[in-house]
Amino acid sequence: MLARTLSDNLVYLDKDFIADRYELHSGENAATTITRLQGKKAGANLLPFSAEISAQETRSYALSTLQMLSRLWPELSEQPAVNVSEYAERSASEYGWVQGHLSTFQVRSKSQRDGQEVVTAQSSHFQLRGLEHGRYIDLITTPDYFASGFNALLPLQMTLLNKFALPVCMYMRLLPAKDHAENWIAVPLVIVESRPALLRDIQALF
């Protein structure tokens, strides 16, 4: 029953995070393959002082990440909430729950060219809104971690999408980093819709 509820309400799941936590929780070692890649042709652009070698780890488990989340949910739901208003700069990163509305946000950089305003750069990202004191949290997301369809909302901002505000509970890693509007930046780890069946488990949000 819990697995079905999580499946129906899951918005985002960091697969690496949940696999790491499951391995620690269960003590089960995954079948692991580490592939060593060498040379610039093997990967993306390298930094000036980086070695031209990288490693890719592939792990194989006998169950899915959704099943892992179901088994870890009793422990995960007992984790504390993050008080965003009391989080200070130069703090260590902080793990915890927060509640708000998942939305999208678009940033445009403009300049004057030949007497006209020209858009020189633009980007879109997900944002958590509706926090106390009107605070927002910018989210660093990975497209593959979203439930089907959600990541398509970002490009739709430029054409179809007028408004998007989904009530969610989010377990995140809050970073000591801010955008130019003084909003905190975080890495979401688990995002589920704010449904009573799941909310009652997360006592830290009450």
Please give the tally of structural domains in the chain.
Answer: 1
Assigned token pair, 111: 């300049």
Most confident range, picked from 84-98, 156-170, 181-195: 181-195
Tell me the pLDDT tens digit for each residue of 130-162. 876 567 899 999 999 999 999 888 877 767 777
Residue 45 lies in a domain: no
CATH code, domain carrying 146: 2.40.50
- Per-residue pLDDT at 182 exceeds 90: no
- Per-residue pLDDT at 205 exceeds 50: yes
- The CA angle 57-58-59, to the nearest 5 degrees, is 120
Residue 37 lies in a domain: no
Residue 21 lies in a domain: no
- Per-residue pLDDT at 95 exceeds 80: yes
Residue 8 lies in a domain: no
Residue 135 lies in a domain: yes
Q: Confidence band (pLDDT; 50, 70, 90) for 204?
A: confident
Residue 172 lies in a domain: yes
DSSP 8-state code for residue 81: B
Q: What is the distance, to the nearest Å, from the Cα of residue 4 to the centroid of all Cα atoms in its chain?
A: 22
> Among candidates 106, 132, 127, which has minimal Cα distance to 170?
127
Tell me the pLDDT tens digit for each residue of 40-89. 554 555 555 545 666 777 878 888 999 999 999 999 999 999 988 888 87
Residue 77 lies in a domain: no
Predicted local distance difference test score (pLDDT) of residue 153: 87
- Domain around 181: 84-205
Residue 64 lies in a domain: no
Whole-structure pTM value: 0.82
3-state per-residue secondary structure call for 120-148 = EEEEEEEEEECCHHHCCEEECCCHHHECC
More confident position, 171 or 158:
171
